[in-house]
Structure 1
Amino acid sequence: METLMSNWLNPVENTPEKYIFPANQRPGSQPFPVMNDIPLIDLQHPNPQHIIHQIIDACQRFGIFQVINHGIPGSLMEDTMAVMKGFFAGPAEHKASLYSTDLTKKCRIYSSTLNYDSEEVHYWRDNLTHHCYPLHDHIHLWPHHPPTYRQVVGAYAVETRKLMVRILETICEGLGLKPDYLEGEMTKTQLLSVNHHIPCPDPSLTLGMPQHTDPNLITILQQCSVPGLQVFRHHQWMDVPSDPTAFLVVPGLQLKVMSNGRFWSPIHRVMTHREEARTTIGTFLIPSNEIVIEPAGDSPAAYRGFTYAEFFKCFTRSNCDADTALTYFQTNSKSPTLLK
């Protein structure tokens, strides 16, 4: 069977065995509660202090929030989504040259996870990932098709970076830090990650993405009208409302460290959909490998300082479980084996 799901003949009538999870890991078909109280923050509110308070409160109590009036034109969001859908719907030969599970590749497409050949069960997704910053260093590696890909996504990458930097500046102000505290090496890498899920014959048997916590600094997600994202909250999985005009903001574990544990980075996963394909566009800011990440301020530190390279080494050795990797760097940690 073709590895990339976007190259399969649709519709898929039966779920392939390699995509069916063991009974105790399946999401099931029960209805899930909806996270109706997710904070919705208007970035054009006339009172800047109100915006700061809302964002800090959302980072501490929810670990996730949505922003509207964010400054990115709706037309650019729509054009970028259309380009991404066009890429995945395109001919197999346009994707073949980009296929790779090599983490060092600056632009790649793969299916399920980077461990496709060794994993026991596959996740129901294709993923396109590429670096975005500085734009001129990476744009020549991006897809040639659709023909407008580089022009449209290039503009989108510039605007999403501005938005994330603005949110980080607001967070810094709310924590009593200089607005540019998280600029430079702390936001050196910008990564765009697009997940594409084709319709699934039986969503109760499959998952679009595993449960995980984002290991980076901050994530913003452009969703589509098809639901699928879930957050683990109040000891249960909850559906996250899907608003294609807003950006969903997720503080990563590096912000949790920087806030000395005040912020929450939620566990989340992706469900599949029986009738419709689902495409989402994630943008990540990631520290450089060399910069030291540590709690800011004078409070007793909950974490010791570490470089992102050290963290990512623990991350990969803990089967990409970001929470487990972060535990190693707690000041009271007794788990010194992950770096050996």
Structure 2
Amino acid sequence: MDILISNWSGVQSLPETYIFPPERRPGDHKIPSSKDIPIIDLETINGPERAQTIQQIIKASQDFGLFQVINHGVSRELMDQTMALFKRFFASPAEFKARFYSNDLNASCRLYTSTLNYENEEVHYWRDNITHRCHPLEDHINHWPDDPPYYRKVVAEYSIEVRKFLLTILELICDGMGLESRYFEGEISKNQLVSVNHHIPCPDPSLTIGMQAHCDPNLISMLQQGDVCGLQALKDGQWVGVEPLPGAFVVIPGLQLRVISNGKLASAVHRVVTDSKESRTTIGTFLIPSNDVLIRPADGLLGSSDMLYRGYTYKEFFGTFTSNNCEAETALECFKL
């Protein structure tokens, strides 16, 4: 699979098909990490500081649309083991990786490069990706890689633990916003993807990008960054770096949380820049509504305020989102009242 950048070695110059037009280039990609990105400590979430921690999550979701979480309950050993496993996968021989290359969105496990529209793109993103469908596990696990033999066991355990974590965050949001308990369980968070991006060292990070600026269309997202900078978020019209904190998860409310909260919660615009010297591997986890679930602002959050969005199915939203070049504001405008 010569189109996979993880199969390349010793790249000295950036291929022309990865050079973006000037208006889409990251420019000064070495943006300092922001000291203002909220860090939420869940260590005492079941103690007397619970209410304060919940309000920190709500405020971070309102003001920034992104926050980092420490002491989240997922063991550092499992995090490190999973990261090492995915790095090993991308370093595997091309013949092995070719078994998983697919453009089928419904595949239980698929490997691709840039985006699923690679063949029709004028310019490619500097990334490879392997995505696993994870819930329910028994429907998908037998389609995942089985080399090394413990691959499926580790990724399964990781997917279970991070799902528990994200459902905990959603339950805390319920508590903080006055929604009924378990509002976000069931069909509205049914689907789960573990999506791993890999970026090899880039000859000229100023000319290309690892992932375009975007908002996540799903319910909620989580990122395990590793130790190489690259994630940037848009705050007050300026890009800021999201520092990789050892053992932390980055949490990003998705556009469905923005709608369900009737615009009270934000979803950060974010992008990924490349590095000239080091490879970067990150593990994302996404909770996604089932296609036919009805999504609308929650009754308990309306009060005296008008409902901003009409109800729709997630399938309808995602189709609108993709047909509008994944532009969040353009897509949301189609559902405003």
TM-score interval for Structure 1 and Structure 2 normalised by the shorter chain: over 0.9
The answer to whether residue 227 in structure 2 is matched with residue 225 in structure 1 is yes
The code of the aligned residue for 2:328 comes to A
Q: Quick one: which of 52, 64, 87 aligns to 2:89?
A: 87
TM-score, L = length of structure 2: 0.95
What is the Cα deviation at residue 130 of structure 1?
1.4
Contact 1:208/1:272 (<8 A) preserved: yes
> Which residue does 1:278 correspond to in 2?
280
Superposition CA RMSD, Å: 1.2
Q: Who is 1:334 aligned against? A: none
Q: What is the deviation of 1:30?
A: 6.0
Q: How does 1:118-157 map to 2 (within 5 A)?
A: 118-157=120-159
Pair 1:34 & 2:33 matched: yes
Q: Deviations over 1:238-260 (max 9, x none)?
A: 11111141000000000000110
Query: Secondary structure in 1 aligned to 2:37?
Result: coil
Describe the superposition over 1:116-138 as per-residue Cα deviations: whole angstroms up to 9, x where unpaired: 01111000000101110111111
Cα offset, 1:51, TM superposition: 1.4
> Residue 133 of structure 1: SS of its match in structure 2?
coil
Contact 1:218 1:251 in 2 (8 A): yes
Contact persistence 2:29–2:205 (CA under 8 A): no
Match of residue 336 from structure 1: none
2: CA distance between counterparts of 1:321 and 1:100? 25
Of 324, 329, 340, the residue aligned with 2:335 is 329
Runs of 4+ in 1 over 3 A off after TM superposition: none
Distance 2:136 2:115 in 1: 26
Look up the equivalent residue of 2:4 and give its one-letter code: L
Which of residues 300, 307, 312 in structure 1 aligns to 2:318?
312
Map residues 191-210 of structure 1 onto 2, 5 A cutoff. 191-210=193-212
Kindly tell me: are residues 133 and 30 of structure 1, through their superposed partners in 2, closer, same or farther at Cα, counting changes over 3 Å? closer
Contact 1:11 1:199 in 2 (8 A): no
User: Unaligned stretches of 5+ in structure 2?
Assistant: none
Equivalent runs, 1:1-340 vs 2, <5 Å: 2-8=2-8, 10-29=9-28, 31-45=30-44, 46=47, 47-296=49-298, 297=300, 298=302, 299-331=305-337
For 1:31 and 1:307, how far apart are their aligned partners in 2? Answer: 40
TM-score, with structure 1 as normaliser: 0.95
Give the partner amino acid of 1:318: N
Q: Secondary structure of 1:140's partner?
A: helix
What's the secondary structure of 1:56's corresponding residue?
helix
2:206 partner SS: helix
Q: Percent identity?
A: 58
Q: Does the 8 Å CA contact 2:217/2:256 hold for their aligned counterparts?
A: yes
Give yes or no for contact 1:20–1:206 (8 Å, CA) kept in 2.
yes
* Cα contact 2:225–2:249 (8 A) shared by 1: yes
1:293 shift after superposition? 0.6
Distance 2:26 2:192 in 1: 32
1:174-219 per-residue CA deviation (whole Å, 9 max, x = no partner) reads 1101120110001100111000000001111110001110000000
Taking the aligned partners of 1:151 and 1:60, their CA distance within structure 2 comes to 37
